[in-house]
C-alpha cells in the first residue's frame, strides 16, 4: 500500500455498536494531464487500537452481510466527513454522493448543523442546510444495488435516536434505505444516462431526477496508436476532448492503420495467453465486462448453428471475451462456464478466447483491438455501459442493445448498429438474438470484408460523434453547471 499511497497522520473516531473505532486515511494524488492535482483519500480501520473485527471493516470491497456493510458505510459516511474536517477541509460547499453507500454523511452534516446552532435535535432548517450541500447520483436500475438495512440492525450499529425521531427523512418502508436517504437530503439528483434518468423517475416517483450521461477519460482510454494519431491530426485533444470532433478530417487509411496496430497487440496477447490461434485478418468481436447475468454475455450463442453459418458463408468471425463474476454471483459464474462450453463446441468454426485477469489494462487492450464491440444487456437494466464509449474513442463501433448510453450514441450505420428497435418491448432474448444475427449477416460482416472504406467511415464517426461527446470533460462541465453550482 505504501508504494502507491501516502499515510496521513490524522486519526478520527466513529462509534459502532458502542465501540469507538479509529480510522486513518491514505492519500492518492490524481495528476491531471496539465499537472493539476486532485486528492483521493482511502479510509482504513486496520489500526492496532481497534479490535480484530473492527480492523477488518475496510478489508473487503464486496464484503459479507448487511451488518458488515452497514459498518463499512458508517465508516465511509460519518468517518469520511470527520476525516475531511480533520484533514483541514472546513468549508466544503458540495458533497457528491455517488450511489447510496456514502449516504450517512448526511447524518454527520446534520449533526454539524445542530451543533453549530447549539441545539440537540434536528430542525427543518438543518435539513434544508444539508440539502443545499448535497448532490446525489443514482447508478443502477437493479433493485439489489440499493442498500437497505432493517431498523433493529441500524439501532444496534449506530444507536442514533435521531434516525427514529426523523423517520420521514431517514426511513423508507420501515428500513434505513441508503438511496432514499440520499434522495431526501439532496438538492440535485441525477441518473447516469438519459434513459436511466427516466427509469429512476419511475423507480423513485415524487423526486425530481435529472440525467447527466457519464463519460470516459479520453487520455486514459485512447490506445497508443490512436493517441499518436490524435496528437498529429487533432492537437490539444487531451485537454479539449470536444475537439475530437475534428477527427472527421483524419484520412481513413490512417484510422485503419492505427486500428491494425491496436488489433495486432490484442491478437498477439490472446495467442500468447491462450491456444485460441486468432487470426489478424478475421473480424474480431470483443465482449469484456463484469460477468453479471443481466449483461447476457452468451446471447450471441443462443443459436449456435446460425452463428456458424454466418461465419462459414458470409465471413469468418472470432471472439474475445473477458470478465469476472462477483464472488457471490452464482449465475454470473454459470454464465462463464456456459461460454467455456460453447467455446469447446464451436472449436475452429468460430474461434473464441476467454481471457483471465480482466482489469483496466487488459480492458484497454481488448476494447481498442476489437473490430466490433458487442453489448447485449437485458434492457432496461444497463444504466450506462461505459466500455462502448471507450471503444468509440478507439474507432471501434458498437453493436449493442438500445439501452444505457447507446440510446444516445447510436446513429444506425453511422456510429455503429443497434440490436432490436428503439422503444420496443424490451428484453426478449429470442428477438434480440435474431436481430443480432441479422445485423451481423446482412450488414456488418459483409461491410467488414467487402466494404472496408465504408467500415472505416463508421469507425471515424464513432470517434468524431461519440468519442468527442461521451467523455469526462463534457460530463464534468454538466455536473459543474447543472449540479454543483445550483
Ligand atoms: C470499463 C470497464 C468496466 C465497465 O464496463 P461496462 O461496459 O460499463 O460494463 C468494467 N471493468 C473494467 C476493468 C473496465 O475497464
Say yes or no: CB of residue 296 within 6 Å of ligand 1: no
Q: What is the mean pLDDT of residues 32-51?
A: 96
Domains 93-215+473-486 and 218-470 are alike in CATH topology: yes
Check residue 347 and give its pLDDT: 83
Share of the chain above pLDDT 90, in %: 88
144 band by pLDDT with thresholds 50, 70 and 90: confident
424 band by pLDDT with thresholds 50, 70 and 90: low
Cα of 390 from ligand 1 centre, angstroms: 9
- The answer to whether 434 touches 302, Cβ cutoff 8 Å, is no
Cα of 288 from ligand 1 centre, angstroms: 7
245 band by pLDDT with thresholds 50, 70 and 90: very high
CATH topology of domain 93-215+473-486: Rossmann fold (3.40.50)
Cα of 290 from ligand 1 centre, angstroms: 7
For the stretch 105-123, pLDDT in tens is: 999 999 999 999 998 888 9
90: pLDDT strictly greater than 80: yes
Residue 10's alpha-carbon distances to 2, 23, 83, 264, in angstroms, are: 16, 9, 8, 49
Say yes or no: CB of residue 385 within 6 Å of ligand 1: yes
For the stretch 312-358, pLDDT in tens is: 999 999 999 999 998 888 999 999 999 999 999 998 899 999 999 99
- Sequence-distant (≥ 6) Cβ neighbours of residue 223 within 8 angstroms: 258, 262, 265, 364, 365, 368, 369, 394
Atom of ligand 1 nearest to the CA of 363: 15
Counts for the chain of helices (H) and strands (E), in that order:
22, 17
Least confident of 53-67, 269-283, 452-466: 53-67
Check residue 436 and give its pLDDT: 98
Rounded CA Rg of the chain: 24
483: pLDDT strictly greater than 80: yes
- The answer to whether 192 touches 212, Cβ cutoff 8 Å, is yes
Check residue 363 and give its pLDDT: 98
Check residue 423 and give its pLDDT: 63
Contacts 24+ apart (CB under 8 A), 152-160: 153/66, 153/67, 153/70, 154/70, 156/17, 157/16, 157/17, 157/67, 157/70, 157/71, 157/74, 158/15, 158/16, 158/70, 158/74, 159/15, 159/17, 159/18, 160/107
164: pLDDT strictly greater than 80: no
- Alpha helix positions (H), 274-321: 304-309
126: pLDDT strictly greater than 80: yes
* Residue 152 in grid coordinates: 433493529
Neighbours of 396 (CB within 10 A): 30
Say yes or no: CB of residue 386 within 6 Å of ligand 1: yes
Check residue 425 and give its pLDDT: 60
- Delimit the domains of the chain by residue range: 1-84, 93-215+473-486, 218-470
- Sequence-distant (≥ 6) Cβ neighbours of residue 357 within 8 angstroms: none
Atom of ligand 1 nearest to the CA of 323: 11
Say yes or no: CB of residue 363 within 6 Å of ligand 1: yes
SS3 at position 405: coil
Cα of 386 from ligand 1 centre, angstroms: 6
For the stretch 353-401, pLDDT in tens is: 999 999 999 999 999 999 999 999 999 889 999 999 999 999 999 999 9
- The answer to whether 4 touches 42, Cβ cutoff 8 Å, is no
CATH of domain 218-470: 3.40.50.2000
- The answer to whether 23 touches 83, Cβ cutoff 8 Å, is yes
Check residue 64 and give its pLDDT: 78
* Residue 190 in grid coordinates: 441525477
Nearest Cα neighbor of 148 from 101, 109, 188, 196 is: 101
- Sequence-distant (≥ 6) Cβ neighbours of residue 484 within 8 angstroms: 93, 94, 96, 135
Name the residue of 193, 218, 288 whose CB sits within 8 Å of the most ligand 1 atoms, as the mutation to test its pocket: 288
Atom of ligand 1 nearest to the CA of 359: 13
* Residues 156, 19: Cα–Cα separation, whole Å: 11
Per-chain mean pLDDT for the chain: 95
Minimum CA distance residue for ligand 1 atom 11: 289
Cα of 458 from ligand 1 centre, angstroms: 23
462: pLDDT strictly greater than 90: yes
- Sequence-distant (≥ 6) Cβ neighbours of residue 77 within 8 angstroms: 101, 102, 103, 104, 105, 106, 107, 108
Minimum CA distance residue for ligand 1 atom 2: 387
160 band by pLDDT with thresholds 50, 70 and 90: confident
- Alpha helix positions (H), 236-358: 252-273, 304-309, 330-346
* Residue 225 in grid coordinates: 496508436
- The answer to whether 351 touches 277, Cβ cutoff 8 Å, is yes
Check residue 24 and give its pLDDT: 98
Say yes or no: CB of residue 206 within 6 Å of ligand 1: no
Check residue 426 and give its pLDDT: 64
166: pLDDT strictly greater than 90: no
Q: What is the mean pLDDT of residues 128-152?
A: 92
Q: What is the mean pLDDT of residues 160-181?
A: 86
Say yes or no: CB of residue 387 within 6 Å of ligand 1: yes
Check residue 171 and give its pLDDT: 85
* Residue 287 in grid coordinates: 465482449
145 band by pLDDT with thresholds 50, 70 and 90: confident
Bridge partners of 371, per DSSP, are: none
* Residues 251, 248: Cα–Cα separation, whole Å: 8
Minimum CA distance residue for ligand 1 atom 15: 360
Cα of 120 from ligand 1 centre, angstroms: 45
Name the residue of 294, 324, 363, 377 whose CB sits within 8 Å of the most ligand 1 atoms, as the mutation to test its pocket: 363
Amino acid at each position: 500500500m505504501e508504494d502507491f499511497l501516502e499515510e496521513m497522520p490524522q486519526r478520527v473516531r466513529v462509534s459502532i455498536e458502542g465501540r469507538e473505532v479509529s480510522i486513518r486515511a491514505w492519500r492518492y494524488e490524481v495528476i491531471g494531464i496539465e499537472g493539476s492535482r486532485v486528492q483521493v483519500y482511502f479510509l482504513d480501520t486496520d489500526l492496532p487500537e481497534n479490535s480484530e473485527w473492527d480492523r477488518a471493516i475496510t478489508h473487503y470491497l464486496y464484503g459479507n452481510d448487511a451488518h458488515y456493510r452497514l459498518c463499512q458505510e458508517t465508516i465511509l459516511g460519518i468517518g469520511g466527513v470527520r476525516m475531511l474536517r480533520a484533514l483541514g477541509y472546513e468549508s466544503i460547499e458540495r458533497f457528491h454522493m455517488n450511489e447510496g453507500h456514502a449516504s450517512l454523511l448526511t447524518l454527520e452534516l446534520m449533526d454539524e448543523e445542530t451543533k453549530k446552532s447549539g441545539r440537540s435535535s434536528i430542525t427543518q432548517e438543518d435539513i434544508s442546510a444539508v440539502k443545499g450541500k448535497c448532490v446525489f447520483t443514482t447508478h443502477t436500475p437493479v433493485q439489489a444495488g440499493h442498500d437497505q438495512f432493517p431498523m433493529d440492525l441500524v439501532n444496534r450499529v449506530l444507536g442514533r435516536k435521531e434516525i427514529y425521531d426523523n423517520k420521514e427523512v431517514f426511513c423508507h418502508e420501515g428500513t434505513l434505505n441508503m438511496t432514499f436517504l440520499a434522495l431526501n437530503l439532496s438538492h440535485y439528483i441525477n441518473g447516469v444516462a438519459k434513459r436511466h434518468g427516466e427509469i429512476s423517475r419511475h423507480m423513485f416517483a415524487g423526486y425530481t431526477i435529472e440525467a447527466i450521461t457519464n463519460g470516459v477519460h479520453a487520455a486514459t482510454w485512447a490506445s497508443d496508436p490512436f493517441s499518436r494519431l490524435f496528437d498529429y491530426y487533432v492537437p490539444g485533444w487531451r485537454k479539449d476532448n470536444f475537439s475530437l470532433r475534428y477527427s472527421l478530417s483524419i484520412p481513413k487509411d490512417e484510422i485503419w492503420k492505427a486500428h491494425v496496430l491496436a488489433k495486432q497487440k490484442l491478437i498477439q496477447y490472446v495467442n500468447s495467453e491462450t491456444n485460441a490461434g486468432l487470426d489478424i485478418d478475421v473480424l474480431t468481436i470483443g465482449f469484456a465486462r463484469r460477468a453479471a447475468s443481466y449483461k447476457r454475455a452468451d446471447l450471441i450463442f443462443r443459436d449456435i448453428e446460425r452463428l456458424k453459418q454466418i461465419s462459414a458463408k458470409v465471413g469468418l468471425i472470432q471472439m474475445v471475451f473477458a470478465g469476472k463474476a462477483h464472488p457471490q454471483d452464482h449465475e454470473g459464474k454459470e454464465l462463464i462456464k456456459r461460454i467455456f462450453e460453447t467455446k469447446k463446441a464451436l472449436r475452429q468454426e468460430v474461434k473464441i478466447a476467454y481471457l483471465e485477469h480482466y482489469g483496466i489494462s487488459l480492458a484497454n487492450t481488448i476494447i481498442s483491438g476489437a473490430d466490433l464491440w458487442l453489448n447485449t444487456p437485458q434492457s432496461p437494466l444497463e444504466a450506462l455501459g461505459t466500455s462502448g464509449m471507450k471503444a468509440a474513442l478507439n474507432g471501434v463501433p458498437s453493436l449493442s442493445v438500445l439501452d444505457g448510453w447507446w440510446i444516445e450514441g447510436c446513429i444506425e450505420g453511422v456510429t455503429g448498429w443497434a440490436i432490436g428497435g428503439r422503444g420496443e418491448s424490451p428484453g426478449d432474448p429470442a428477438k434480440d438474438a435474431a436481430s443480432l444475427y441479422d445485423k451481423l449477416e446482412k450488414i456488418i460482416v459483409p461491410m467488414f470484408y467487402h466494404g472496408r472504406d465504408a467500415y472505416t467511415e463508421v469507425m471515424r464517426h464513432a470517434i468524431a460523434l461519440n468519442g468527442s461527446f461521451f467523455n469526462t470533460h463534457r460530463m464534468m462541465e454538466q455536473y459543474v453547471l447543472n449540479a454543483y453550482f445550483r
